[in-house]
A and B are shown apart, each in its own frame.
Chain A
Amino acid sequence: DADVTQTPRNRITKTGKRIMLECSQTKGHDRMYWYRQDPGLGLRLIYYSFDVKDINKGEISDGYSVSRQAQAKFSLSLESAIPNQTALYFCATSDGRLATNTGELFFGEGSRLTVL
């Protein structure tokens, strides 16, 4: 089983619909992230969370919200989806403890969202 699991893997929806992408991890990491990938733009950070009570906006948070339900779960919501939110979304985790922190991100397989 994957250490970082994203659901759904693929989703097609219509403009104005609410969408939730879920991420769960079994790595025991404290830090979790949501990224968006668009061709030619690399990965851009949407939101990140360094522990259950910590939520931070990233580079492109407008139109998105997140919830950290537990250390292992971090969900991304689009309250009212629009076509330019069509993209590949990645959840990632990292270990923030000083003794073991190598900065490395561990990624899920991605969730492809299409907004019509």
Chain B
Amino acid sequence: AQSVTQLDSQVPVFEEAPVELRCNYSSSVSVYLFWYVQYPNQGLQLLLKYLSGSTLVKGINGFEAEFNKSQTSFHLRKPSVHISDTAEYFCAVTTPLGQNFVFGPGTRLSVLP
């Protein structure tokens, strides 16, 4: 079975500062990794995903994440955040057959003016 840990439940950061949201996973098999974002009163939308290949993945809105197999991590980064990035961010993992999609508890990013 897979599991996902997001070490920070809340991350406050000032506008235009860099941010990193941490995600670690455990799995005995190879996995696909995802970051989803949930803006207030909305559903979840995909930010980026890692399936295979290059370990640095670029997503929408200037976000990127790096897959580190040895550390079983998939941290999300943005070099300069904007007020509009305030949202909840979920890391998720699934097996390639998609039979077990597991979400982390979420990290609430608050961007302060």
> Which A residues fall within an 8 A CB radius of B?
4, 31, 33, 35, 40-45, 90, 94, 96, 101-105, 107-110
Contact assessment for B43 and A108 in the assembled complex, using a CB-CB cutoff below 8 Å: yes
A40, A44, A105, A108: residue with the most chain B Cβ atoms closer than 10 Å: A105
Contact assessment for B96 and A107 in the assembled complex, using a CB-CB cutoff below 8 Å: no
> Which B residues fall within an 8 A CB radius of A?
4, 9, 32, 34, 36, 42-46, 49, 51, 90, 92, 94-98, 101, 103-106
Residues of A within 8 A of B104 (CB): 42
Contact assessment for A103 and B105 in the assembled complex, using a CB-CB cutoff below 8 Å: no
Q: Which of B51, B98, B105 contacts A41 (CB 8 A)?
A: B105
**Whole-angstrom distance between the alpha carbons of A109 and B92 in the complex?**
18
A67 to chain B, nearest CB (A): 21
